[in-house]
Chains A and B, each alone.
Chain A
Amino acid sequence: MPEKNKKVDKELLLRVAANARLNLTGAEAEEFLPQLQETLEAFSKLDELDAAKEQPSFQPIKLTNVMRQDNVEKCLSQEQALRNTKHRKNGYFLGPRVV
């Protein structure tokens, strides 16, 4: 069910932020909320445009699927893949705990 007409409030903003893995400070939430509301309200004029029956253009030009032979090609070595991280252990990426 589209909730289009539901106004974005602080609770929804914080839910969106949590989904996006962003911790907003109180000042940021206060600043962003009216800006987001203003922007979405302005963009809702897209509703006037009759496009319901159109095919969506996920790309601006027609693309064709690209396939290749399932052959092993040149790729990064393990050492190279780890070169840009500070968190590694025994040749693996070291991540934060999962639970």
Chain B
Amino acid sequence: MGEGLSIKQFVTEVKKGNISVLEHTEKILSEAEQSNSQYHYFNLIAREAALKQAGEVEASIKTGRNKGMLPGVPLSVKDCICVQGIESRAGSKILSGYEPLFDATVIERARAEGAIIIGKTSQDEFGFGTFNTNVGIGFEIPKNPHDIKRCCGGSSGGSAGFTALTKLTHASIGESTGGSIACPASFCGVVGLTPTYGRVSRYGLIDYANSLDKIGSMGKTVEDAALLLEVIAGYDSNDSTSLKQEKDDFSKIEPSKLKIGIVKELFENCDAPVKKECMNAIKKLGAKTQEISLPLNAKYGIAAYYIISTSEASTNLARYCGMRYGLHEKLEGNFNEYFSKVRSNGFNKEAKRRILLGTFARMAGFRDAYYLRAMKARTRLIREFKEAFSKVDVLANPTMPIVAPTFEAIEKLTPLQQYAMDLCTVPANLAGMPHISVPVAMQGKAPVGLMLTADHLQEKKMIQAALAVESACK
């Protein structure tokens, strides 16, 4: 029941009464629970709340009142997105026990369409990682569904892993700051869609870096991910960076062979097998192509991104001090001593590293040299993208320079080497461009993803191209 069905097919069957929402919800909750001891995709499984919601949706279908786009569709949600009454920790010990009093706008919209929230998925602490190995203190590291010796990718690793593992109809709401949707989608072999910055409201998102964070969708197919985007996108007065936009029917887009720009530098820096599979996928597509060079993004993207993101993160994380929510300690010492104690006990290593890096980059005497310089560099990097989009519709490059690495290999990497792995995803994220990772091949047990990037608010073109790639690689 519900196995192998796309969201659209599932919804049709649910509306006809051929699938029981309650039974389907029970089935996917059981799968989430049973697989969690081995794969660790969920930081929390919301059994009780999900079944309650499923009962309500089922009743509304029986009485013909349900007009939603996602009745009974199970959604998992990255831990950094607030769900009312459900512990939401962004993968960090410092948010232990925090139960939001409200739903994030994306959750409110998904629920209004009848979606069922089944749980909070594993992530690197606050999104600080490429492999989902930088989890908070006391959290488990998720394992790749294709090979448990390998990582899921990060930071939305639990979302990607469970989307790939389950055969039941399911999609996930993820979040990307520097590639946290595309990377795990690529490593787990699912579709990861990151919209234009501002397309989807960030209200209710536990921030990593405000000028970079984007909530997006993950699904088994481009159509599933596009449909979920359609539900969660739209202007929201609660988010001052939210964009005024027309309502788009992303789920009704047809595949189209647009002009594809092959990003020279991003291909050059990838492992040969990854490069080969991505080139093959583009060939199979049979679209018009042109080589595009993005030398500045390739050379300076990582540095600018990490300076900006850690600067913003270090200010965002200043709010965690053990007073109003999350981790508390015994009230001892003066405020400095108390705050320092809570923060030192609550953050894991990578969070501390990024807070230090960001605090340094913003400090008097260093601010102009690092933070401001990076913001100015960003202007040039965005311009380089804009010039590219005057020549082609969509840019293509491997999502990640490698396939999902083993945990053993990851342990040998220094933080800087880990940051360098974000080479292909960081430019689009820094520039706020919509991008999507589509699985195109398997390299042994490890999936390979092709990333397609479009200009600001050109999600339609991106989805057209992604549908064409998906169908060419079937």
Contacts and interface: CB of A to CB of B under 8 A. Distances in A.
Contacts, number: 183
Interface stretch (B270-278, B335-343, B388-396): B335-343
B331 A96 contact: yes
B466 to A, nearest CB: 21
23 contacts: A4-B366, A4-B369, A22-B355, A23-B341, A28-B352, A32-B352, A35-B353, A36-B360, A38-B415, A38-B416, A39-B306, A39-B357, A46-B307, A55-B376, A57-B378, A66-B237, A80-B101, A83-B99, A85-B328, A87-B323, A87-B331, A93-B324, A96-B333
Interface of B: 97-99, 101, 196-198, 211-212, 237, 240-241, 243, 296, 299-300, 302-304, 306-307, 314, 318, 321, 323-326, 328, 331-341, 343-344, 347, 349, 352-353, 355-357, 359-360, 363, 365-366, 368-370, 372-380, 382, 414-416, 419, 430-433, 456
A45 to B, nearest CB: 6
A85 B324 contact: yes
B303 A46 contact: yes
A60 B343 contact: no
A72 interface: no
Contact of A23 (B296, B321, B344): B344
A22 B318 CA distance: 10
A23 to B, nearest CB: 4
A57 to B, nearest CB: 4
Nearest to B362: A19
Contacts of B430: 60
B78 to A, nearest CB: 20
Given A28-B352, A54-B379, A21 B372 contact: no
Q: Binding site of A, secondary structure by majority: helix, strand, loop or mixed?
A: loop
B373 A51 contact: yes
Chain B CB count within 10 A is highest, among A46, A57, A59, A95, for: A57
Contact of B328 (A32, A63, A87): A87
Interface string A69-91: 00000001000110111110000
A85 to B, nearest CB: 5
Nearest to B239: A66
Nearest to B374: A46
Contact of B331 (A43, A81, A83, A94): A94
A59 to B, nearest CB: 5
Given A22-B355, A39-B415, A84-B99, A54 B306 contact: no
A7 interface: no
A59 B344 CA distance: 31
B325 A45 contact: no
Given A22-B356, A61-B197, A66-B237, 4 more contacts: A2-B368, A13-B356, A39-B306, A63-B241
Contacts of A80: 101
A42 B352 contact: no
A96 B336 CA distance: 9
B319 to A, nearest CB: 11
The 5 A-B residue pairs whose C-beta atoms are closest, nearest first, are A60-B432, A56-B375, A84-B325, A96-B338, A43-B303
A47 B373 CA distance: 8
Interface in A2-17: 2-4, 8, 12-13, 16-17
Contacts of A8: 360
Given A49-B300, A60-B211, A61-B243, A36 B378 contact: no
Given A3-B366, A49-B296, A95-B323, A61 B335 contact: no
